Amino acid sequence: MTTITPPADRAVPPAAAPLAKAPKVAIADDKAMLRAVAELTRELVTPSASIYWTDFLASAAIGYAGVAAAILAPSTGWMLVAALVAVLALYRAGSFIHELTHIRKQALPGFRLAWNLILGIPLLIPSFMYEGIHSLHHNRTKYGTVEDPEYLPLALMKPWTVPLFVVAAAFAPLALLFRYAVLTPLSFVIPPLRKLVVERYSGLIINPMFRRKPPEGEFRRQWAWQEGGAWAWSTLLIAAGVFGWVPLRALIIFGAIASATVVLNQIRTLVAHLWENDGEVLTVTGQFLDSVNVPPPGLLPELWAPVGLRYHALHHLLPGVPYHALPEAHRRLKATLPADSQYHKANYKGLPGLVAKLLAGSAKGAAA
């Protein structure tokens, strides 16, 4: 799952190009690795309905219980503990938006509808904002280019871009509230505004140069009811605060928890890739090596990169494999492929080292 980006310049300073040890555009496909990936994971493509429903519903229930506990907490300490539980659980539940873009609709009947009603609309991130967007990120010729809505060459940009990238995410809930409560109704009576809203403000993207195309067919109908639901909910939230239907403190706590989940996801996004591509079309192996796995034995990645996101590089090789099968796919590939395989070069130990690597890269680019 990706969030709203600060307005940043995609242009890469000329002196920043030598940062990478070798241009990823020059990396040829590792055919042995790709063949092993295909052969060793063929029977892992079927999603388990029981795992999906249990994981999502439990995460959402714990998350909302945490929100209630934070609002009703008798002290600041207990409020913070409950809020932390809520953030982690709602973040996990929200991460299923990523799965929605890859699983076939018939594979999990009703899951998309339930996700939107239980979490997508209440948190103002209905699935239409990601479906049709994320698939472009997996497009062989669009990854890392100006046509990729989920890519910025952060490692090649100014050092201040990285902290701004995270700080801006904290304001995403307010931006989404304004988008649905104000821009949505206005856009239907002002056609030029509607075009702007569809192109610029209808996707969870990080590439400010990306422009979204209007929806078509069945997806247009999904978009319509999801946007209508988000408009109704955002309007109700504002009315509840203005007319005092809900204590302002409760709304602020709910908003703060929602904001923290977005910030956590934005931090995770920072280390989903190395962000070293300057707009060139990469091979599949080049895309893989620009992406990140944070496999076991570490346990913390399961909190900050849940629902299979800790295997993000592997996911780029196997986008159709459900999240619960990725650990097994990784174990098979790790055990089978030789030590000099490119596969092992996308595995990293944890979040701190990856963030430090990104910051060091952007600092070197600015100093060069």
Mean pLDDT of 215-230: 96
In this structure, is the dihedral angle defined by the CA atoms of residues 227, 233, 236 and 237, taken in order, positive or negative?
Answer: negative
Whether the model clears a pTM of 0.85, i.e. scores above it, the answer is yes
At 258 the pLDDT is 97
Structure tokens at 125: 């991130």
CA dist., res. 171 & res. 163, Å (int): 14
CA dist., res. 260 & res. 11, Å (int): 29
Residue 7 domain-assigned?
Answer: no
Could you tell me which of 138, 121, 128 has the C-alpha nearest to residue 214?
A: 128
At 9 the pLDDT is 40
In which band, very low, low, confident or very high, does the pLDDT at 272 lie, cut at 50, 70 and 90?
very high
Mean pLDDT of 161-167: 92
Number of folded domains in the chain? 1
User: Is the per-residue pLDDT at 19 higher than 80?
Assistant: no
Residue 9 domain-assigned?
Answer: no
In which band, very low, low, confident or very high, does the pLDDT at 22 lie, cut at 50, 70 and 90?
low
Residue 299 domain-assigned?
Answer: yes
**What are 95-138's pLDDT values in tens digits?**
999 999 998 878 999 999 999 999 999 999 999 999 999 999 99
At 360 the pLDDT is 80
**What are 243-264's pLDDT values in tens digits?**
999 999 999 999 999 999 999 9
In which band, very low, low, confident or very high, does the pLDDT at 159 lie, cut at 50, 70 and 90?
confident
In which band, very low, low, confident or very high, does the pLDDT at 4 lie, cut at 50, 70 and 90?
very low
What is the extent of the structural domain holding 298? Answer: 14-367
Residue 126 domain-assigned?
Answer: yes
Cis bond upstream, residue 297 (ω within 30)? yes
Mean pLDDT of 56-80: 97
Among 57-61, 218-222, 305-309, 359-363, the range scoring the smallest mean pLDDT is 359-363
Residue 3 domain-assigned?
Answer: no
> Percent of the chain scored above 90 by pLDDT?
83
User: Is the per-residue pLDDT at 17 higher than 70?
Assistant: no
CB-side neighbour CA atoms (13 Å) of 256: 15
Mean pLDDT of 170-174: 96
Structure tokens at 299: 């346990």
In this structure, is the dihedral angle defined by the CA atoms of residues 356, 361, 362 and 364, taken in order, positive or negative?
Answer: positive
Residue 190 domain-assigned?
Answer: yes
Mean pLDDT of 332-345: 95
Crossing angle of helices 31-40 and 326-336, rounded to 10°? 130
Q: Which residues pair with 347 in a beta bridge?
A: 293
At 368 the pLDDT is 55
Could you tell me which of 165, 85, 89, 166 has the C-alpha nearest to residue 123?
A: 89
At 62 the pLDDT is 98
CA dist., res. 202 & res. 118, Å (int): 20
At 104 the pLDDT is 85
- According to DSSP, residue 180 is labeled I
Residue 260 domain-assigned?
Answer: yes
In which band, very low, low, confident or very high, does the pLDDT at 348 lie, cut at 50, 70 and 90?
very high
Mean pLDDT, all residues of the chain: 91
Structure tokens at 12: 């890469």
User: For the chain, how many helices (H) and strands (E)?
Assistant: 17, 0
Higher pLDDT, 15 or 156: 156
Residue 33 domain-assigned?
Answer: yes
At 362 the pLDDT is 73
- According to DSSP, residue 272 is labeled T
- Do the beta carbons of residue 93 and residue 307 sit within 8 Å? no
Could you tell me which of 311, 291, 278, 303 has the C-alpha nearest to residue 354?
A: 291
Mean pLDDT of 233-237: 98
